[in-house]
Amino acid sequence: MLGVKKFLAITLVLALVVLGVAAKVKPIKLGAVLPLGDITGRQAANAMKLAVKEINAAGGVLGRPLELIIVDDEMNPSKGAAAIDKLATIDKVDFFIGGMSSGVHLAQIPILKKYQKITVWIGAASHLCEKALAGADWYFHLHPWDYQQGAGYAIGWKQILEKYPQVKFDRVFLAYEEGAFGTASYKAYLAMLEQAKQGEGPYVGLVKEFKGESFKSAAFGGGDYRAVLRLAKEWNPDAFIWAGYDADALPMMAQAKEIGFAPPIFIGAPPGWPADFGKSPLSEGVVLYGMWAPSLNKVSPVAEHFYNAYVKEFGEEPATYFAPLGYTNVYFLVEGIKKAGTLEKEALIKALEQVEYESPLGETLKIAPSAVIKHQGFTTQKILQWQNGKQEVIWPFEVQTAEFIYPFPKWEGR
């Protein structure tokens, strides 16, 4: 009888130990939603996997491994919203991460509000998303909002004008694709320049004359930019900006060459660049905006580590800034968990507010309030320039990797 009691006691102790160990190693679940059919989402997902692999190899967080569950939103708002529900109810994730499209995110916000889990989002630049998230203190947004990007460019150009006095930025022509993306860019510029006329905002004293004209993007069956380029050529701007998609990039340059349009500053502002753009001689001297470039490897050890690890892991180069942003997404959250020493919501929010993470994007990520939300990460993009087939950082000057080529090189010989 005594033997049976002893046996039961030992079994009970063993069961408790096993349960305890199991509870201790229960992974911390990160639920990511990304558009995997698009290069931005695919590479962000890869970078997240890389970050999780590195962190788990180093012993995990709070003694627990990370588990990454990725759901494809297919750039579809209803699928993006359903993905949040699935991650919360079926996968029972601890945190939401990821993001790309603003349209998808607008549909996700009501669902995120339902669960109110800590969310660290790397996409969705539209201020409409920001407005919808007013008061959500569990929400951390790492990508600059659209108006912050516009203001950041103004700061950058003002500093460039100071450093390079020969540069002029008085007359700006914007060619924008006629869809939502381009039209939003045009309206944002108009609003900021209107503000500048009243003596307010970042564009005061920068742009004196502005003109915009739409075109149909190749992404939607267009691709003939000659009319808008000719209009710009006749207007003779100091800076020509086109806001379209990656599919417009090289044909835009080829058609500018065809009509002999070479403004002193030629800026391209697509969300991503085509695979072969750098290989073309037409890319030389084109200015672009972005959060990251491989050339940051020259000035940032974290960027260099990320780049090499990504290439080694996936056998391809990270080609979009969503890759280092995805990597930052995971590391930022993990730094917060480490700092908090717990997954408890309030403590973790406080810890994330204090995190200073040196990111592969060439700048330290710190949280500060934006115009509407309490937790905003990055606020500016960088001014880059295609030089010898590579994107070089022109501004901020702290991470500048090459001198600014000005004016835009003539077409002859290209």
Partner 1 sequence: MAETKTHGRHQFTLPLLAIVALILIFIFKPYAVIYGVQRGSLYALIAMPLALTLGIVGILNLAHGDFLTLGAYIAYWIFNSTGLDPLLSIFAVAPLLFVVGAGLYKITVSKVLRAPLLNQLLLTFGIAMILEEVINLIWTSRPRNVYVNYASASASIGGFRFGTYEFSYLLAAVGVLVLLRLFLKHTRLGKAAFAVGQNPKGAKIVGINVEMIYLLIFSISVGIVGIAAGLTLPRMSIFPLFGSPFTLKSFCLAAMAGLGNLTGILWSGLALGIGEALVQSIEGYSGWSDIVFFGVLIAVITIRSYRGSYV
209 binds partner 1 (CB under 8 A): no
Shortest spacing between CB 222 and partner 1, in angstroms: 8
Shortest spacing between CB 88 and partner 1, in angstroms: 29
Size of the site for partner 1 (CB under 8 A): 43
Beta bridge pairs of residue 383: 289, 395
Shortest spacing between CB 386 and partner 1, in angstroms: 13
Shortest spacing between CB 178 and partner 1, in angstroms: 5
251 binds partner 1 (CB under 8 A): yes
- Touching partner 1, residues 174-193 (CB under 8 A): 178
282 binds partner 1 (CB under 8 A): yes
In the complex with partner 1, the residue whose CB is nearer, 98 or 274, is: 274
Distance CA 179, CA 193 (A): 21
In the complex with partner 1, the residue whose CB is nearer, 157 or 240, is: 240
224 binds partner 1 (CB under 8 A): yes
Region from 16-24, 152-160, 245-253, 346-354 binding partner 1, contact rule CB under 8 A: 245-253
- List 248, 335, 363, 392, residue binding partner 1 (CB under 8 A): 248
Region from 118-126, 128-136, 148-156, 276-284 binding partner 1, contact rule CB under 8 A: 276-284
Write the CA distances from 314 to 48, 144, 261, 306, 356, integer angstroms. Answer: 12, 27, 40, 12, 28
- List 60, 263, 268, 272, residue binding partner 1 (CB under 8 A): 272
Distance CA 326, CA 332 (A): 10
276 binds partner 1 (CB under 8 A): yes
- List 138, 140, 215, 306, residue binding partner 1 (CB under 8 A): 215
In the complex with partner 1, the residue whose CB is nearer, 54 or 72, is: 72
Interhelix angle 102-115/77-89, rounded to 10 degrees, is 30
227 binds partner 1 (CB under 8 A): yes
In the complex with partner 1, the residue whose CB is nearer, 138 or 225, is: 225
- List 6, 279, 338, 410, residue binding partner 1 (CB under 8 A): 279
Shortest spacing between CB 148 and partner 1, in angstroms: 27
Region from 11-19, 88-96, 97-105, 214-222 binding partner 1, contact rule CB under 8 A: 214-222
Question: Three-state SS across the chain?
Answer: CHHHHHHHHHHHHHHHHHHHHHHHCCCEEEEEEECCCCHHHHHHHHHHHHHHHHHHHCCCECCECEEEEEEECCCCHHHHHHHHHHHHHCCCCCEEEECCCHHHHHHHHHHHHHHCCCEEECCCCCHHHHHHCCCCCCEEECCCCHHHHHHHHHHHHHHHHHHCCCCCCCEEEEEEECCHHHHHHHHHHHHHHHHHHCCCCCCCCCCCEEEEEEECCHHHCCCCCHHHHHHHHHHCCCEEEEECCHHHHHHHHHHHHHHCCCCCEEEECCCCCCCCHHHCHHHCCCEEEECCCHHHHHCCHHHHHHHHHHHHHHCCCCCCCHHHHHHHHHHHHHHHHHHHCCCCHHHHHHHHHHCCEECCCCCEECCECCCCCCCECCCCCEEEEEECCEEEEEECHHHCCCCCCCCCCCCCCC
Shortest spacing between CB 215 and partner 1, in angstroms: 6
28 binds partner 1 (CB under 8 A): no
- Touching partner 1, residues 306-365 (CB under 8 A): 319
Region from 49-57, 223-231, 301-309, 357-365 binding partner 1, contact rule CB under 8 A: 223-231
164 binds partner 1 (CB under 8 A): no
- Residues forming contacts to partner 1 in the complex (CB under 8 A) are 37-39, 42, 178, 213-216, 218-221, 223-224, 226-228, 230-231, 245-251, 254-255, 257-260, 272, 274-277, 279-282, 319
